Structure 1
Amino acid sequence: MSFFNLIFAPGFFASAPVQTALVIGSAAAIVSALIGVFTVLRGQSFAGHALSDISSAGGSVAFLLGISALWGFLGVAVLAAGALELAGLRRSKERDLVTGIVLGAGLGLTALLLHLDIGTRSSGGAAISVMFGSIFAVPASMIVPMLGVSGLAVLMMGLIYRPLLLTSLDPNLASAQGVRVSSIGLLHLLILSLAVTLSAMTIGAILSTALLIGPAAAAVQIAHRPGRALLLAGLFGLIATWGGVLLAYDSYTWTPGQAWPVSFFITSLVSLIYVAARLWAKRPVARRTAEA
């Protein structure tokens, strides 16, 4: 048996669901990691987490109406992003307070919608799909729309890269240089809503924060330049996503007839990557201390 066959189970690359999962998973990982770097630098990780959870209401209403979950996630995430920015709060305590209230309301609405899903459509799997994802069940017809959402997010980031980076590092300096900080903040949250939509479709709304924050936080730990942080974050996101899909596929042979959830493997790999990055970042400090 070759080394290749030891890693990749037979039929892995030939499987249509796997091919779809790798494409949409890669798109979600890259977009989430890139905007995640700016989210970490801006200290808005909680806002990203809130948008992820609030978007579950959109996935729930999509199941209820019988439409694509993509548009449900996207619609609610965009509305929530606009609401958070239009609140006009700049101090972190006030922002987190409003974010927490909106988050609670969003999750309460999700509970109601999922209850209606089960009661009216007998869709017992709706809660699992919305909250924890079902990447192997995403139809190939969703590849084009999801790549379109990904392309839009990357294009928006490219167009506002410099002011977005400046407002993330020093909003006061950005304001002094004439940058419209509030407008950039709104655009950041709108891009964030696109990333949340993509990750919700892959690993579920409640776990999508892992792809959004984990790779970005790991990259920021070990990269000293924004460009390198973006590249590393994208790489870490792809490693976690591809590794998660591979391990989930291989798990069919671990417990015959029942595969382990992709979301479990992706979030676990993200956690391991972050821990490894933290340890790597501390190595030079420990060395200098020992030499002193």
Structure 2
Amino acid sequence: MDSLLTLIFEPGFFSSEPVHTALVVGGGAALVSGVIGVFTVMRGQSFAGHALADVSSAGGAASFLLGINPLLGFLIMAIIGAGGMELVRVRRARERDLVTGVVLGAGLGFAALFLYFDVTSKSTTGAAITVMFGSMFAIPASIIPLALAVGIGALIVIAMLYRPLLLSSLEPELAAVRGVRVRLVGFLHLLALALAVSLSALTVGAILSTALLIGPAAIALRLAKRPGRAVVLSALIGISATWGGILLAYDSYYWTPGHGWPVSFFVVALIFLLYVITGRAGQNTKRAAAAGIALETTELGEA
């Protein structure tokens, strides 16, 4: 038994402070992304999640320039992006994807500018890699309290909105008839989405954070017969992939001494592998899942 554990966990894994921080922050980000990702997929807002993640990269780049907490930078810019997307969407609902694309382009433009200043003014040559692709073992332990506060806040918002959010995601017209303030619920979901992508951008990088947001949710919706179960399953898949990626990245330092592989690569690879594996199972449960969603919609409408 000891030899098996030694084979899986390389020496120092359980005593490493960077590993402890990565497990806490990464696991929290995966939990929040998994829960919010299910509603994001059901609402057809995967592109919005990707856009907010890319927009948040400008905040991450600015944090290196200003010397502030990187999570705070990701968070502020993501919230600004969410507010801008929602304000314009209210006026021109049919142009949502167009507006999202414009906001995304603007965010990436500012990210490029801030990264340029990072290199020329602060000589922080690793800022671009950290912001875009993450560096989970480099996350300082001092970020944990803020990360936990952001994650708990996002989960509280979703918990308070669960029934109206689920109904407006599945049947927006029925939700409006039953008195649900669909636009307000959508905006609050967008704010919770901004919190989720900020956490995932900090852990796996702005570019790859969409995989942590959308991947587990897509897998869970393939397998679960009810949206509520999909939320739980998505969170479990995200946490498992993240912790598995951390373990593999740590062990990779012993595969190629001094040159460990990126955590974000392993996290995304595990999610993609699970998505491929569950493809056949997803086809077998598709009708059952559709029936379960229809049943839950009916129950919400009657409640």
TM-score scaled by length of structure 1? 0.95
> After superposition, what is the alpha-carbon deviation per residue over 1:126-159, rounded to whole angstroms, capped at 9, x for unaligned?
0011001111011111111100111111111111
Task: Tell me how far 1:70 sits from its aligned partner.
Answer: 0.7
Counterpart residue number, 2:290: none
Corresponding letter in the other structure for 1:94:
E
**For the residues of structure 2 that align with 1:195 and 1:85, how far apart are their CA atoms?**
17
Counterpart residue number, 2:151: 150
Counterpart residue number, 1:72: 73
**For the residues of structure 2 that align with 1:213 and 1:277, how far apart are their CA atoms?**
15
**For the residues of structure 1 that align with 2:4 and 2:124, how far apart are their CA atoms?**
42
Instruction: Quote the sequence identity (%).
Output: 61
Task: Tell me how far 1:284 sits from its aligned partner.
Answer: 6.0
**C-alpha RMSD of matched pairs (Å):** 1.5
**For the residues of structure 2 that align with 1:90 and 1:13, how far apart are their CA atoms?**
52
**For the residues of structure 2 that align with 1:121 and 1:284, how far apart are their CA atoms?**
53
Gaps of at least 5 residues in structure 2 are 287-303
- Relative distance call for 1:229 and 1:284 in structure 2 (3 A) is closer
Task: Tell me how far 1:88 sits from its aligned partner.
Answer: 2.6
Counterpart residue number, 1:289: none
Work out whether residues 223 and 285 of structure 2, in 8 Å CA contact, stay in contact via their aligned partners in 1.
Answer: no
- Relative distance call for 1:43 and 1:93 in structure 2 (3 A) is same
Gaps of at least 5 residues in structure 1 are 286-292
Counterpart residue number, 1:290: none
Task: Tell me how far 1:91 sits from its aligned partner.
Answer: 8.1
Counterpart residue number, 1:95: 96
> After superposition, what is the alpha-carbon deviation per residue over 1:154-212, rounded to whole angstroms, capped at 9, x for unaligned?
11111111111111111111000000001001000000000011001101111100110
Comparing 89-98 with 39-48, greater Cα deviation is found at: 89-98
Counterpart residue number, 1:191: 192
In the alignment, does 2:243 pair up with 1:242? yes
In the alignment, does 2:264 pair up with 1:278? no
In the alignment, does 2:131 pair up with 1:130? yes
Work out whether residues 21 and 140 of structure 2, in 8 Å CA contact, stay in contact via their aligned partners in 1.
Answer: yes
**For the residues of structure 1 that align with 2:191 and 2:222, how far apart are their CA atoms?**
25
In the alignment, does 2:264 pair up with 1:263? yes
SS at match of 1:9: coil
Query: How do residues 1-292 of structure 1 correspond to structure 2 at under 5 angstroms?
Result: 2-89=3-90, 94-283=95-284
Q: How many residues align?
A: 286
